[in-house]
Amino acid sequence: GMGGVGKTTLAQHICSDQQVKSHFGLVIWICVSDDFNVKRLIKEVIQSCPRKEATYDSGKDAPADNLNSLQLALSKHVNNQRVLIVLDDV
Q: How would residue 78 be classed by pLDDT, with cut points 50, 70 and 90?
A: confident
Q: Residue 50, SS3?
A: coil
Residue 42 lies in a domain: yes
Count of structural domains within the chain: 1
Q: Are 67 and 39 in contact (CB under 8 A)?
A: yes
Q: How much is the pLDDT for 57?
A: 47
Q: Tell me the C-alpha distance between 42 and 87, whole Å.
A: 11
β partners of residue 85: 28
Residue 31 lies in a domain: yes
Structural domain of residue 36, as residue ranges?
Answer: 26-51+63-89
Residue 85 lies in a domain: yes
Residue-wise pLDDT tens digits, 37-61: 899 999 999 999 887 543 444 445 5
pTM for this model (two decimals): 0.74
